[in-house]
Amino acid sequence: MASNAENHLVTEKIGVVGAGIVGLAVARELATARGAEVTVLEKEGRVGAHQTGHNSGVVHAGIYYPPGSLKARLCREGVALLKEYCAAYALPYEEVGKLVVATSGAERPRLAALAERARANGVPGIAELDALALREIEPHAVGVAAVHSPHTAICDFPAVARRLALDVAELGGSVRLAHPVRALRERAGKVEVVAGRRRFAFDRLVVCAGLGTDAVARMAGAGGDVRIVPFRGEYYALRGKARELVRGLIYPVPDPRYPFLGVHLTRRIDGGVLVGPNAVLAMAYEGYRWSNFGNVRQILGWPGTLRMARAHWRTGLKEVYGSLVKDAFVMAARRYVPELGPADLERAPGGVRAQAVARDGGLVDDFVVDVRGKVVLVRNAPSPAATSSLAIARHIAGIVPALVR
């Protein structure tokens, strides 16, 4: 093909807001695939300080997501890329397997639909088990039937994020910690960004700010029809010998009305077992505790929040009860592993999900990426975005037009 001497690719300077697993994966991808000079701007003093460092650590296999959705595609691609990445850098990655367990006949049709969906998404090894067969996988679990996903894995997402940050540096980029982005504007073909006490000029900016998305979107003049609503996910951890009652991952049949998967039992890469997370509407973006009320105005000021609360108030109250009363967690765990008692559970640190909610109150199910001029905004990257991060990065690199001069 004849090349046009006037039009050639130049080294792009690309800024990325947020050193969570998505931002770091995007930065690495743009540096590798595009040869861009990347700068990651992170407000905290370490990488992976928010969702990336406060999650269940499950590498989802792609069971739940509607076939054809970005989640379904990028989860499957993401698993393959993540597995390879962990192997390449000797990062922990263990295929402990997952059981999705029906505890009553009423849940059977939804369980069967889930198995069908998993197969449609290309999840390998899916098996439908009866009450006896499920105990061969998890000897202390009970249920009337289960779907088994043997390749569902666990990993250490913060360790992956730290490794990605090293890659970025090795590729000639930089990760600037303690650089909160305070202002940005597009001017003279550049995106000017004020972060910490410094000013930067980029050819493009990719915003992967998780719980801070709306604030950065506002700076970019991007309102739009979705806002981040924070949902706290609280956990308990199993104590001592009780940990031996769970081999891998035991999940309920999810309620199809919600993107959250329900309180589950999760083996961790460090040998611990978590029970959780629930999903409680928080009143601060970084609302790790009940006492955090810092963003009430923004959260309740979004019409979607109140519409969502009106539509789902019963579930909301149940989640609040579960948050305040330990017995609710114990009951949720005992449904699947009846040998567990209150003394086996102790509080563990939780996380806060950045979940986009539409103006009409609908919880946005799929990943959402908006392109606005020279700014690319990741507007919704909830679970399984940690699993999918390397594939999300490729997707973003594919939709950001290359700079041609």
Ligand X SMILES: Cc1cc2nc3c(=O)[nH]c(=O)nc-3n(C[C@H](O)[C@H](O)[C@H](O)COP(=O)(O)OP(=O)(O)OC[C@H]3O[C@@H](n4cnc5c(N)ncnc54)[C@H](O)[C@@H]3O)c2cc1C
- Rounded Cα distance between 25 and 34, Å, is 13
Question: Would you count residue 212 as binding ligand X (CB under 6 A)?
Answer: yes
Question: Would you count residue 216 as binding ligand X (CB under 6 A)?
Answer: yes
Position of minimal CB gap to ligand X: 20
Question: Would you count residue 94 as binding ligand X (CB under 6 A)?
Answer: no
Give the residue, chosen from 60, 71, 227, 335, that forms a contact with ligand X under the rule CB under 6 A: 60
CA atoms in the 13 A half-sphere facing the CB of 154: 20
Among 369, 394, 376, CA closest to 14: 376
Give the residue, chosen from 32, 34, 35, 44, that forms a contact with ligand X under the rule CB under 6 A: 44
Query: Is 142 buried (19+), middle (13-18) or exposed (0-12) by CB count in 10 A?
Result: middle
At closest approach, how far in Å is the CB of 205 from ligand X?
A: 11
Question: What count of other Cβ atoms lies within 10 Å of the Cβ of residue 93?
Answer: 18
Site for ligand X in 162-181 (CB under 6 A): 180-181
Query: Is 400 buried (19+), middle (13-18) or exposed (0-12) by CB count in 10 A?
Result: buried
At closest approach, how far in Å is the CB of 245 from ligand X?
A: 20
DSSP H helices in 171-295: 213-219
Total residues binding ligand X (CB under 6 A) = 43
- CB of 36 within 8 A of CB of 396? no
Strands 37-41 and 13-17: parallel
Question: Would you count residue 259 as binding ligand X (CB under 6 A)?
Answer: no
Question: Would you count residue 233 as binding ligand X (CB under 6 A)?
Answer: yes
DSSP H helices in 98-137: 108-120, 131-137
- Rounded Cα distance between 126 and 133, Å, is 14
Question: Would you count residue 351 as binding ligand X (CB under 6 A)?
Answer: yes
Question: Would you count residue 210 as binding ligand X (CB under 6 A)?
Answer: yes
Q: Amino acid letter at 145?
A: A
**Between 145 and 365, CB nearer to ligand X:** 365
Range in contact with ligand X (rule: CB under 6 A) among 61-69, 104-112, 202-210, 243-251: 202-210
Q: Amino acid letter at 267?
A: R
SS3 assignment, position 183 = strand
- CB of 348 within 8 A of CB of 329? no
Give the residue, chosen from 39, 51, 152, 380, that forms a contact with ligand X under the rule CB under 6 A: 51
**Between 145 and 163, CB nearer to ligand X:** 163
- Rounded Cα distance between 368 and 277, Å, is 23
Give the residue, chosen from 39, 56, 152, 380, that forms a contact with ligand X under the rule CB under 6 A: 56
332-359 as b/e, with b when 16 or more CB fall inside 10 Å?
bbbbbbeebeeebbeebebbbbbbbbbe
At closest approach, how far in Å is the CB of 20 from ligand X?
A: 2
Question: Would you count residue 387 as binding ligand X (CB under 6 A)?
Answer: yes
**Between 19 and 226, CB nearer to ligand X:** 19
Range in contact with ligand X (rule: CB under 6 A) among 5-13, 29-37, 356-364, 379-387: 379-387
**Between 55 and 149, CB nearer to ligand X:** 55
Give the residue, chosen from 52, 278, 298, 355, that forms a contact with ligand X under the rule CB under 6 A: 52
Question: Would you count residue 149 as binding ligand X (CB under 6 A)?
Answer: no
Residues that bind ligand X (CB under 6 A): 17-23, 41-44, 48-52, 54-58, 60, 180-181, 208-212, 215-216, 233, 277, 351-353, 381-387
